[in-house]
Amino acid sequence: MNTKQLLQLLAFTAVLATGPLLKGQKNNAAKNRKYDVAAFLYPAYASDDPRLRPFWPDGNGEWETVTNVQDRLPGHYWNRKPLWGTVNEADPAVMSMEINQAVSHGVNVFIFDWYWYDGRAFMETTLDNGFLKADNVNQMKFYLMWANHDVVNTWDTRLNKYNEENVIWTGKVNRTEFEKICKRNIEKYFKLPQYYKIDGKPVFMIYDMPQLIAGLGGVGQAEDALKWFKEETKRAGFPGLELQLTMWSINVNHSGFDGSKTSNPENAFVKQLGFTSATHYQFVHFTEVNKDYLDILTAVEKEWARIDTAFEFNYYPHISVGWDNSPRTGKSAVVKNNTPENFEKGLRMAKAYADAHPKQVPLITINSWNEWTETSYLQPDNVYGYGYLDAIKRVFLAR
């Protein structure tokens, strides 16, 4: 079977899985509010990126970790299989199929995890060669989340079993390198029509604030660098920069900030650095996840209410599919009972939050499109089929 036949078969099975449209759906859909449903996309499932081979020598990226779990951990309970196969997401034909599936189920934005190590970009092939070269790329928007964490042995399953936290690449950058990164992304990505913007401002998300601050030399230096980034974005012709914070404790509880300035040092810290919005990347960043999904949703709702009261930025609600990192590490906290039906309850919570904040864009983030080895993915598998994607379709494309 050639690539074209495979993609046709995948498209056909997808129609069978999701069912036909009902009469009158198109007209009713036009009456509904349009939501920006954004799924994080981890770009490690590529077959044509030589910089991935030190971690996954078979040459197909982290699919290697997904497919050899039973060999590394005989009898392990995790035995997931992708219904689309171990596809190369840096192939524009494959990404075209994925865009079709995403959009038809209500996902209209991808948030690409974006990396910069050793003086150059890392894992850009899925975005550059796959997504941006897909023939239907104009159907979706995308933006970047700078995943500026260190690289240790976690990705390399040959080494991570020894629990060695040696740093292979640091996520820290100095001011010169920071400016290089910003100018490059403004020119290469922000100016694209597919780049997601809020009120004309490109959205750029930063994952790890302690790393950014340490590399730039302190809170004051980070404040100055981020202010420069905003000004540089304006000089490029945009009305500004929508600087988005990855909301978790390490990013707002910085020991170098003077908490005496305000009754809420977290909010003051975020304001000083110039962040105008925030969302989460994963439930695991702020609550215990080794329990039932519905209990986790209760904690999530409380966290949203706290953020709403404590911070002045726009918070965009986040829903995670699940968490189980054992395919990489052999052991992990595990979310229980995260069925598509319970995931749908989380989506309805997020939709209600968006509707209750009509002055901000109806953006909702989801972890994730394809985090297979963290067991938090929307892509269809042998356990729930298209269940998670269908849940999004029911909530956001209801006719």
Q: How many residues does the chain have?
A: 399
Three-state secondary-structure class, residue 336: strand
| CB proximity list for 394: less than 8 A, separation 6 or greater | 344
**Model pLDDT, residue 46:** 97
Is residue 256 very low, low, confident or very high in pLDDT (cuts 50, 70, 90)? low
- Condensed to tens digits (0 to 9), the pLDDT of residues 129-168 reads 999 999 999 999 999 999 999 987 777 777 766 666 788 8
Domain membership of residue 12 (yes or no) is no
**Model pLDDT, residue 9:** 41
- Condensed to tens digits (0 to 9), the pLDDT of residues 312-361 reads 999 999 999 999 999 998 889 999 999 999 999 999 999 999 999 999 99
Instruction: Check: CB of residue 336 under 8 Å from CB of residue 291.
Output: yes
**Model pLDDT, residue 33:** 83
CATH (domain of 168): 3.20.20.80
72, pLDDT greater than 70: yes
Domain count, the chain: 1
The stretch 173-192 carries a mean pLDDT of 98
Domain membership of residue 203 (yes or no) is yes
Domain membership of residue 249 (yes or no) is yes
Query: How is residue 164 written in tokens?
Result: 């060695």
12, pLDDT greater than 60: no
**Of the ranges 6-15, 135-144, 270-279, 308-317, which one carries the lowest mean pLDDT score?**
6-15
Domain membership of residue 49 (yes or no) is no
102, pLDDT greater than 50: yes
CA distance 359 to 387: 32
CA distance 254 to 197: 29
Q: Is the dihedral of CA 2, 81, 164, 73 positive or negative?
A: negative
Instruction: Check: CB of residue 216 under 8 Å from CB of residue 222.
Output: yes
**Model pLDDT, residue 399:** 65
CA distance 45 to 59: 10
Domain of residue 344, residue span: 66-396
Domain membership of residue 23 (yes or no) is no
Phi, psi of 371 (to 5 degrees): -85, 75
CA distance 207 to 230: 17
Domain membership of residue 254 (yes or no) is yes
Question: Within 13 A of 95's CA, how many CA atoms are on the CB side?
Answer: 25
DSSP string, 221-236: HHHHHHHHHHHHHHHT
**Model pLDDT, residue 123:** 95
**Model pLDDT, residue 233:** 98
Domain membership of residue 57 (yes or no) is no
Q: Which of 10-14, 136-140, 254-258 has the highest mean pLDDT?
A: 136-140
Query: How is residue 3 written in tokens?
Result: 């690539």
Domain membership of residue 45 (yes or no) is no
Three-state secondary-structure class, residue 207: coil
| CB proximity list for 31: less than 8 A, separation 6 or greater | none
| CB proximity list for 292: less than 8 A, separation 6 or greater | 336, 337
Is residue 86 very low, low, confident or very high in pLDDT (cuts 50, 70, 90)? very high
Residue 96, phi-psi category: left (phi > 0), alpha (psi -120 to 50), beta (remainder):
alpha
**Of the ranges 145-154, 230-239, 344-353, 388-397, which one carries the lowest mean pLDDT score?**
145-154
**Model pLDDT, residue 329:** 87
**Of the ranges 22-26, 83-87, 158-162, which one carries the lowest mean pLDDT score?**
22-26
**Of the ranges 54-58, 157-161, 383-387, which one carries the lowest mean pLDDT score?**
157-161
Instruction: Check: CB of residue 61 under 8 Å from CB of residue 45.
Output: yes
26, pLDDT greater than 60: no
